[in-house]
Structure 1
Amino acid sequence: MTSERPKDLDLSYLLGVLRRAALPVLLTALALSLLVYLYSRTRPAVYQATASIAALPNGGGNSVINTTLVTAPPLPPAVVARAMRSPEVVDRALTLLGQRVPDSAARRALEQQVRADLGQNDDQAVGLASDVNQDFVGVYEVSVRAATPPVAQAGANSFTQALLAWDRQRALGSVSLARQNLLQQRDDLTRRIAQAATPLDVRSLESLRGDVLQKLQQVEVLEQTVTGTLSALAGALLPVDPVEPRPLRNAALVFAATLFFGVLLAFALDQLRRRIRGPEDLRQFSVPVMATLPPLPARLTDPRALIREVGQGTFREQMDFVRVGLLATLVRPARTPLIVISSAQTGEGKSTVTAALASNLGLNGLRVLVVDADVYRRRQEQLWLSGGTGRPAPAPRPAGPGGSQLWSGVGERVDLAAPGNSRLDVDEVMNLIEHLRANYDVVLVDSPPVLRVADSLALAARMDGLLLVADAQVSRAQVERAVQEVGLLGVHLLGFVLNRFREPAGQGSYAYAPLQAERTGVLP
């Protein structure tokens, strides 16, 4: 029944992990989000203003600049960002800021933050975002954060103006180079005119010098109007709402992040815990694993639906292995064998296994008595007397001392008995069994979990054997403890039934439909 192939995704197991971790994760998320919300409320407000700059293509069509090859090239975004953090731009922007707004704590704080960002190459106070194409044509946005709206607006406009002034100086430097080149040409032509030997040479050189002087005049005019490749697009507006802090947004982000990482941590911790994940983990106790029962489609609360599920498909086939294993272990007993079925903890499916095994034995010709010794839950009464077997619920009759009751014919060759006490009384249960056991081939006792109720071990010690049901995700430490406790009291551990074990892909049911159709007894 073992395989090294990966198992299918067990959604019920995943939901179980989430259900166990839900409360602590939710409480942690709520606590952290509340703390972040309260902390955010105490933080000072921060306003952000944004101004826009257009990056234009080079080559304005001026023939003088194009001829002298000194046109200003377009700027890549990285160059503009580096210029934005240059001391020249920062110093000019802070000077303009001082001229735009009066001295205040908000202005001084912005100036200090800008200086600190300049030394750390950071952009907490002033940011630059670009949206340009491959030709470096597009839009730049200069954003400034400050403690008051007027300072933020003035800061954005000041840094925009400083950056435009830097770009103009860059373009003006190219025009200045063109002017120097034309001056050198003029001086050279003047010298050559003075040295000319013929009047024809003089007239030719003077014509060339006239063209150079005309170009020089155009360059001098261009020096007054050059703007570079950047130009102002939109000034900063006065911000109305602060961008920080945002208590609700911060709290929501922390809440979502805590939920996400909390669930991841829950699954990680669950994987690190030593659990029973397959029959190979139970064989280390040197006790046979009689069956591996598949998980039911859902956590069924309707006993009738549960009865139907456990009587068909792979579940029924595995119960055949339990029946054969028990009968092989109890070969020709001198008296009716007493088998107690229990588990280490609650919720591992021992009551379902008890009912399914009783029905399987009854369908195979054995007279079975089921004793509902789990007096705290009375699960056997819920299963057998709910009408899920297709039989009308029989009327109980007294069975032995202490108010015990017996229901005959709850299933095919299956009777049900229950002690009348509201707590587990081992002597009362044994008296009830001794009073009835002679009429049956086997007695199955559904007892409380051995690690939850101490009298369960005392009851198991007076039985012929114990069948221990283990959930496929139960802690291995709990199973080890249960086996140790059973061994200390000398209980005969017959074997394990591994419940809710998902078989590897491709190892499904082997039952034939006609054979299932013939099963018309208690569990169809």
Structure 2
Amino acid sequence: MDLRDYLRLGRSQWNVILVCGLLLVAISALLTWRTTPQYASSARLFVSTQGSTDDTQANQGGQFSLQRVKSYADLLNGQAIARRVVDELDLDQSPKALASQISASSKLDTVILTVTVTDPDPKRARVLADAVANVFVSYVAELETPPGKDQATIKATVVDQASLPTTPVSPNAMRNLALGLVLGLAIGVAIAVLRETLDSTIKSAGHLEKLVPAPIIGAISYDSDAIDTPLITNLDTYAPRSEAFRVLRTNLQFIDPDAHHKVFVVTSSLPGEGKTTTAANLALALAEGGEKVILVEGDLRRPKVAEYLRLESSVGLTTVLIGKLSLEDAIQTTANEDLHVLTSGSTPPNPAELLKSSSMAALITSLRETYDIVLIDAPPLLPVTDGALLAAQADGALLVVRHGKTTTDQVTLAVERLEAVGAAPVGVIFNRTPAKGGDGYGYGYGYGYAPEASASQDASAKA
């Protein structure tokens, strides 16, 4: 993934990243709130050798002190000092527990030791730090006094008594919240990348072009009003969805441009990808462009065209195929005189047998001779064979692919279903592409280009 992919991922998965960030911040805040504050008090000790007046001896003593400081730091972290402090202060605490509160450090090339004691009580932390420092002074005197001597060769002196801490050293609320936010965002990005990696749905035109041996002839941007107003006749003339279908209409004319009577099947891989509304709106757009069009409802299992166009559904294709009604009598007209519709008719028990019958082939031939373009709304390709059977009798299939829902495997299998019967997709319609940004195609970006209002219109609007 390059930077552009991460930016696109951030736009599409921002909610996951944000939720993870806020969740980790909340957890950090809770843990910080529940953590007992710890106060630290420190005392400083100076380590030196006993009275040397000679410069050479003083230098050697200084080197000796430097070597001892490192060992003293380890001693302070052990339980020997803690045990003496417990006995001296008569603490109700084990030496091991007290030792865990004591830390010692020394700066490089110095003989200064810093003893730090942490405790939930700031006053107790100061008392313990002073006690540890004083006990250690005595302990060093014992360790460094040679047998038979009454004076130690090296001594530790408290140079800075422990002070009373006023602010806790832990928990650090700002640091914890910042770390929680950074960690949460990192986890969110990781989850988003994982989801993107595991997600096989098609979200870009480039991805789709590699799967289908046919051009993308249009993209219909997502419109939240499409459920209530599925047809473009109910939209403003310059609405983005209306413009998208005009672009689709124009691009469709470049498919086999020398042919004057064309038959196309509009289908998809699975239900729910918008093939029926796409077929209906494409038929409307073609009729608005002056083409003589007929829309055939070839989906005999779940017919929807009659419902969208508010036409009679009881008679139609099945009525003609079984010989109960002539084709001319079954065809219904619409408000646009260039658009005719042949609805499905009653649902038959054997849709596949009817669609592959010689009567169906004869019906398509008859419609081809009468109309400039015949659009057949076919069932999806993967659940049933009806769509592939219809595509085999047409000039090709227009495959509708829904952005973010149709998967790579589904498109690949759909193309294989068409090729298995000698048909092929001649164009791809990318449906419900992002309204803004993303890898849309054509007028799939959610913008229109309506004419500006005239001065007289503005004045009347204000009136």
Shared fold (TM-score, shorter chain, > 0.5): yes
Q: Are 1:487 and 2:419 matched, yes or no? A: yes
Instruction: Give the secondary structure class of the aligned counterpart of 1:398.
Output: coil
8 Å CA contact 1:346–1:449 kept in 2: the answer is yes
Mapped pair 1:420 → 2:353 = no
Shift of 1:359: 1.4
Q: State how many pairs are aligned.
A: 364
| CA apart distance, 1:429 | 5.2
The 3-state SS of whatever aligns with 2:418 is: helix
Instruction: Return the alpha-carbon distance in structure 2 between the equivalents of residues 270 and 52 of structure 1.
Output: 51
Distance 2:247 2:392 in 1: 27
Q: Where does the alignment leave 5 or more consecutive residues of structure 1 unmatched?
A: 56-80, 115-124, 131-138, 146-151, 173-225, 238-242, 244-252, 386-393, 518-524
Q: Does structure 1 residue 338 correspond to structure 2 residue 263?
A: yes
How far, CA to CA, are the matches of 1:295 and 1:494 in structure 2?
A: 21
Seq. identity, %: 19
Using a 3 Å threshold, how does the CA distance of structure 1 residues 83 and 316 change in structure 2: closer, same or farther? farther
Stretch moving more, 266-275 or 346-355: 266-275
Match of 2:395 in 1: 464
TM superposition score normalised by structure 1: 0.51
The aligned counterpart of 1:143 is: 118
Q: CA deviation at 1:13?
A: 8.3
Supply the distance in 2 between the matched residues of 1:11 and 1:380 (Cα, whole angstroms).
Answer: 37
Q: One-letter code of the match for 1:447? A: A
Q: Which residue of 2 is the match for residue 126 of structure 1?
A: 101
Q: What CA distance in whole angstroms lies between the structure 2 residues aligned with 1:142 and 1:384?
A: 82
In structure 2, the residue matched to 1:64 is none
CA contact (8 A) 2:220 2:245 kept: no
Partner Cα separation in structure 2 for residue 511 and residue 49 of structure 1: 62
1:485 partner amino acid:
R
Aligned equivalent of 1:87: 75
In 1, distance between residues paired with 2:163 and 2:387? Answer: 86
Could you say which residue in structure 2 is the equivalent of 1:120?
Answer: none
- After TM superposition, list the pairs within 5 Å mapping 1:352-431 onto structure 2: 352-374=277-299, 378-381=303-306, 383-385=308-310, 398-399=315-316, 401=318, 407-409=332-334, 411=336, 413-416=338-341, 417-421=343-347, 425-428=351-354
1:455 aligned residue: 386
Give the deviation of 1:274 after TM superposition: 6.3
Bigger helix share: 1
Deviation by residue 1:443-498 (Cα, 9 ceiling, x = unmatched):
21222321233333233333332111234554433322222221111124323233
Which residue number corresponds to residue 257 of structure 2? 328
Task: For residue 325 of structure 1, give the secondary structure of its aligned residue in structure 2.
Answer: coil
Task: Determine if contact 1:460/1:466 at 8 Å carries over to the other structure.
Answer: yes
**Aligned with 1:320: secondary structure?**
helix
Q: Is residue 186 of structure 2 the alignment partner of residue 265 of structure 1?
A: no
Structure 1: distance between partners of 2:162 and 2:42: 6
Q: Which amino acid aligns with 1:93?
A: A
- Answer yes or no: is the 8 Å Cα contact 2:218–2:251 preserved in 1: no
Q: Distance in 1 between matches of 2:336 and 2:7?
A: 35
Which has more radius of gyration?
Answer: 1
Match of 1:134 in 2: none
CA displacement, residues 113-154 of structure 1 (integer Å, 9 cap, x when unaligned): x4xxxxxxxxxx327799xxxxxxxx9973248xxxxxx999
* Deviation, structure 1 residue 164: 4.2
For the aligned residue pairs, the C-alpha RMSD in angstroms reads 5.9
The structural deviation recorded for 1:305 is 7.3
Amino acid at match of 1:328: P
Query: Do structure 1's residue 319 and structure 2's residue 294 form an aligned pair?
Result: no
Cα displacement (A) at 1:289 = 0.6
CA shift at 1:358, angstroms?
0.7
C-alpha distance in structure 2 between counterparts of 1:93 and 1:396, whole Å:
93
Contact 1:486–1:493 (CA<8 Å) still a contact in 2? yes
Where does residue 301 of structure 1 map in the other structure?
A: 227
